[in-house]
Structure 1
């Protein structure tokens, strides 16, 4: 109250020195005095309330701080199922100046938290600091045990810890928060960067006022994809695997996963380990023969061939390099046969007919040479030759010489079977109307129609047969790429992929798989994509079709049987 007395005395003193105060001046002084009284009273009342809420609540000076902590909004899938939510946890701190005996306090705390570093703990407790964190995210049992120790100068602070019901299932999409519950990767980081962090900073973020943050992901489909990747890695003895399901009309990512991954609830330093890279969007690879999708579409779109054209497939030499077939299927092939038999020579000749500049322009148009624009922060920049020459164009035609991400590849493929429209991918819900407003025509509708027919042929007769699920009509293209090590292709290590679309007569989804360094299965002739990447897509379609509301079509025979029920 000393401040109040001095302020009042000064006002009174000034009043005595004034002979005849004006009424307006008198009212101003009265108002000022009232403000001072109110300010001091509010400050005192506020401190009393604060001490009443956060003051001593326990034994021997041990207390629990209940200072307000901002919740993060729940992250939910497209159907409202929770993917990430906040849980309250207690964190242990000390006020070292109040610690009576640092040795005794250290020994006591270590009886409950033996994993703490004894030296570091003692140093904190023996310092003259006003505050020091000791351990974050205690279990209720640990909190109670430490509370029962009754150590003066040690207390708890209620904090928030992120919990992910799916564990590892959507690890690379959801991302992580740090110890302070701030998003540091994945869609958690996007959430913060999109304005939530600013709300936290202003204190406006509270669970009561925050709506759930909805993603385009379908948790059921995500589970199917993740389970298939786990199975594939084990069965094919691979070092990594990945998959994505993409809506071709909206650009929505319905599911995406990359293995190896980690349980988001027990992440530790797993995100920093190289093998846990998100290979679908943050890794670049030579995509092998899946690039023949784009070469075929390019040749059709520029009109240098028609779907009925024949192209010479005999070996030829360019710039000292001989381009030949892996399997020779004849001296010439039709355009669909080039795709079906995965002809390197035929694809190279198609690129030659288009020309180097137009080839580079077409791949740029498809987004294959650019860093993908989407919400997920972890996105890699594709690589390409600094200077495109004829030999570069020909090898890129069959998947060697350009490295891009699997997600870039899936999005580009979607553009060639959805009518010719490039739609930027999104991890947020998007309607068809919203997609139509931003889509860009990058290929003729007739090109897209021809590509559907070629996809279908390969699914029924070519390397995509293992992906074709009865009733769901999956078409697509395999890709088997030898990995580059020390500047040379390693013939014993492969990066395989399959890009599928279904139902192929009127495609709704792209389903893509990758499998890194698969081994030859017993009873199989080799470890090419037709024996591993293609079946992976088939299994995903088989498990996810119901969740995607795609009904099987068994033709007239099936329809007749259904009418009998």
Structure 2
């Protein structure tokens, strides 16, 4: 800014020449300068007032908008937030197909200590050991009298234990609220549910996460608040599951087996209505995984999906069905089953060295002939056999919705030779799980359509691509019915339910190769009712021995079949399957003359 001098020399000299008063010039310049300064100050003050007015306007607008928003929204109860990361503790329930609770949440408390606030650490430690005998008193005293400022004592305590700790009366013993995952049915469906534990933990909340089974598979869904705590509904039927577990446990003990599993599947939807694996556990107190020994000996091992076995003669029906599908045979085609039969330099024999002679395809299944099934497999050929078994799902893990199912991938031969084709046709050389087998039999039972095993309740049939014709499936069902009515599964007959099925007894492999001579896996794969199948039931016993006779019997006909029959007898009425009463033929009465 250029300041104008109050007494400019040029004007002063000019004023003196004219005889004017030079002081008037100075006064005039002062007046002009003061007016300029006043105008500048006024403009500056007006700008400040404008900015201040705009600020107050915006502030009042924000307050007014917030008040209007609060006035138009629903009232919400305020929540207290602790500093740090927010821990989401909510978890949706799990229910069965009828809405019965399988897993839910339970409000409980955890116990922690702040030693610096304790009045009498030694007395507190002694009191805690009386309430929780598993605690180490010396360790507690060391922690309470040391430098620690915080320590967890128990992650879950009961209301009675909480009151007992209250009675100790030490202010350094404090409680943290917790949501505990509760399985009100105990060990029922334990391998399906899996179990839950705590993830992120804080004093005011703890995150409940799934560790196995559906709890882990659907962990994101169960923890997502956006689902509105909508329960996860499974296909299991709690009542049927309880009956199946009771019968299978009794059968396992009666047959002196080390383990057992069963799968009950709806043939048109793939819904697994019941799945049992024994021995079992209580998910409320889930045991630790085994670190040594055979994994299958652990109660955590799920035999229905993780148990990958050579299942034996239950596979023979697939070879017969495919041969009929390809037009190579029909149920009445006669096939020579006499020996000797060698494939790839190996002799193919029959059970206990039997020689059945020439049999029809139906009788090959009824009598369970290895040679007859093997000769059909040779007609089918390697490539077509592979394609058929792959279409039934025997080449990949089942899509069953528990995390353990992904580990149950079938074991296929490294080189698929003619010998492999023959042995696989009667259930050796290819290892699969009972869940795979249930899906394969469901395709036969439903008329030739593949289904995927599922744990989620379905609305209506969920049939996949066709894998065999209706004619081939119908003939296979007829043969399965004959196996029960006059074949190796005669103990599987349940009056009124027309059971059809196939037995399978496979020698158990040794860990380092070869097979045990006195250890078997006995399986009975059944459908019922055979004339209009609605369900598939697979029962497998691990190392069963039936000892009621003079000699121990290990075949499926003596072990797995009676257990499956008792299970069908118990669960069929629960499933709403009405028994069919066959009419009794009236005796023929011949009238004779009394003369």
Q: Is the 8 A contact 1:262 1:270 kept in 2?
A: no
Are residue 359 (structure 1) and residue 378 (structure 2) matched? no
5+ residue gaps, structure 2: 1-43, 67-77, 199-206, 587-595
| Structure 2 counterpart of 1:470, from 492, 495, 501 | 495
Q: What do the CA deviations read for 1:12-54 (whole angstroms, capped 9, x no partner)? A: xxxxx97623646533356459989x99xxxxxxxxx989x99
2:271 paired residue number: 252
Alignment of 1:38-117 (within 5 A): 70-99=89-118, 102-117=121-136
How does 1:427-438 map onto structure 2 within 5 Å?
427-433=455-461, 435-436=462-463
- Please say if 1:301 is aligned against 2:301: no
C-alpha separation in 2, matches of 1:484 and 1:86? 43
- Determine if the alignment matches structure 1 residue 547 to structure 2 residue 574: yes
> Are 2:310 and 1:286 equivalent residues in the alignment?
yes
CA contact (8 A) 1:99 1:126 kept: no
Match of 2:70 in 1: none
1:482-513 CA deviation, whole Å, 9 max, x = no partner?
A: 01112111110000000000000010000110
Aligned match of 1:214: 233
Deviates more, 1:23-32 or 1:209-218: 23-32
Larger mean CA deviation between 402-411 and 94-103 belongs to 94-103
Rounded to whole Å, the distance in 2 between the matches of 1:411 and 1:120 is: 54
Aligned counterpart in structure 2 of residue 479 of structure 1, from 501, 504, 509: 504
- Aligned counterpart, 2:248: 229
Matched with 1:445 is 470
**Partner-residue secondary structure (3-state), 2:316:** helix
Are 2:248 and 2:567, in contact at CA under 8 Å, matched by a contact in 1?
no
Equivalent positions of 1:131-530 (< 5 A) are 131-179=150-198, 180-193=207-220, 195-199=221-225, 209-269=228-288, 274-275=296-297, 276=299, 277-315=301-339, 316-326=341-351, 328-379=354-405, 380-433=408-461, 435-436=462-463, 439-485=464-510, 486-523=512-549, 526-530=553-557
**Larger Rg belongs to:** 2
Kindly indicate whether the alpha-carbon contact (under 8 Å) linking 1:69 and 1:159 is maintained by their aligned counterparts in 2. Answer: no
**Taking structure 1 as the reference length, what is the TM-score of the superposition?**
0.84
Instruction: Judge conservation of contact 2:91–2:223 (CA < 8 Å) in 1.
Output: no
Cα shift at 1:169: 2.0
Confirm or deny: 8 A CA contact 1:329 1:341 kept in the other structure: no
Q: Does the CA contact (< 8 Å) of 2:296 and 2:307 recur in 1?
A: no
Secondary structure of 2:218's aligned partner = helix
Using the TM superposition, name which of 450-459 and 19-28 deviates more: 19-28
Asked if the contact 2:338/2:355 (under 8 Å) is kept, the reply is no
- 1:212-252: CA deviation from partner (whole Å, max 9, x where unpaired): 22110011110111011110111111100111110001100
Alignment CA distance shift 1:127-1:382 (3 Å): farther
Q: Given the superposition, is the C-alpha separation of residues 91 and 473 from structure 1 closer, same or farther in structure 2, using an over 3 Å criterion?
A: same
- Partner SS state of residue 126, structure 2: helix
Q: Secondary structure at the match of 2:338?
A: coil
Q: In 2, Cα distance between the equivalents of 1:106 and 1:93? A: 12
Q: What CA RMSD, in Å, does the superposition of the two structures yield over aligned residues?
A: 2.9
Distance 1:519 1:330 in 2: 27
Shift in Å at residue 266 of structure 1?
A: 2.8
Query: Residues 243 and 256 of structure 1 are in contact (CA less than 8 Å); yes or no, is this contact kept in structure 2?
Result: yes
Task: Write the deviation string for residues 304-350 of structure 1: whole angstroms up to 9, x where unpaired.
Answer: 21111111112211222100111535322110111001101111111
